[in-house]
Amino acid sequence: MIVEQSLKQARLRFVTSTEDLSADRALLGRTSTAERVAGILRARISAGYFAPGERLTEDEITKALGVSRNTLREAFRLLTHERLLVHQLNQGMFVRKLDLVDVLDLYKVRKHVQCSVVRAVTGPPANLGALTEAVRLGERAIDERDWRGLGTANIQFHEALAAIADSPRIDELMRGVLAELRLVFHVMTDVRWFHEPYLRRNREILAALGDGDGLLAERLLHEYLDDAEQQLRDAYARAASSPTGELTGPGKPASQSTPD
């Protein structure tokens, strides 16, 4: 008798749980759409279409994408969780502006994750072609004096470095980290100053990986990240003493635009 009552109670709990779960069925389609909307906005933010500090207007975006406000707000929530957006009370949703603390934490993550990935290399990685292509795109961007394109090629190179691990979770983590870093690059007045010197270093890392020398690749990458972090430290220090607060290269006046 006691066993039968226990079984009935267990069945009741199961039915109640599945009924509660069924109530969430409607979320599946909306969440899927929200994730697609978040992906569109993420790509636009990474490409600089929405600049750091810019307010995202619900009316304009819902009309442009043909989605509901609820779907858009769910997409906003996802991107807020990814630290790409921030909600300001009574003002709305804005693209985040990163401060120096954010940047230093991002570089801490990059050193731990990316360096451990390349350290494990003992032979030419399976995605060597993707790494080579990212370097080629960087070279073409320099030839065309496309400094934003050079920054994009650099991001692609580092995404490919993470992909060596063949781990979807590491790929997802690094996509988020690198998307946040693009927020810094989009407010720089001179992206050429920051990105151009690193193309040569990408080639050096690529050569080490092609030789299957993970230890050398790790050393080169760690030095690379240390130098990039210091450049950004210096840029933020200059911005703090600048009346405009703009991130500039050494010796660059804040009013100077990106060079040809």
**Domains, the chain:** 28-95 (1.10.10.10), 100-240 (1.20.120.530)
pTM above 0.85, yes or no: no
Helix (H, G, I), strand (E, B) or coil at 83: coil
Residue 75: predicted pLDDT = 94
Neighbours of 66 (CB within 10 A): 7
Question: Do residues 125 and 164 touch, judged by C-beta distance below 8 A?
Answer: yes
Each residue's pLDDT tens digit in the chain (260 positions)?
A: 554 555 455 444 434 444 454 555 555 455 578 998 998 898 888 777 888 899 999 999 999 888 999 999 999 999 999 999 999 998 999 999 999 999 999 999 999 999 999 999 999 999 999 999 999 999 999 999 998 889 889 999 999 999 999 999 999 999 889 989 888 887 777 778 888 999 999 999 999 999 999 999 999 999 999 999 999 999 899 888 877 666 666 644 443 334 33
**In the prediction, which pLDDT does 189 show?**
75
Residues 183 and 135: beta-carbon distance below 8 Å:
no
Q: How far is CA 7 from CA 2, 4, 10, 18, 19, in A?
A: 9, 5, 5, 16, 18
Report pLDDT for 248. 65
Structure tokens at 99: 């401060």
**Which token pair is 67?**
């989605």
Tokens representing 71? 């779907």
Query: What CA–CA distances, in Å, run from 54 to 36, 65, 187, 232?
Result: 21, 19, 12, 22
Residue-wise over 153-163: b if at least 16 C-beta within 10 A, else e? bbbbbbbbbbb
The four Cα atoms 252, 253, 254, 256 give a dihedral, to 10 degrees, of -80
Running DSSP on this structure, what letter comes out for residue 51?
A: -
Distance CA(155)–CA(175), nearest Å, equals 9
Report yes or no: 98 and 180 within 8 Å, Cβ to Cβ: yes
pLDDT at 185: 81
Distances 207 to 33, 40, 92, 199, 217 between C-alpha atoms, Å: 42, 34, 47, 12, 8
Cα(29)–Cα(42) distance, integer angstroms: 20
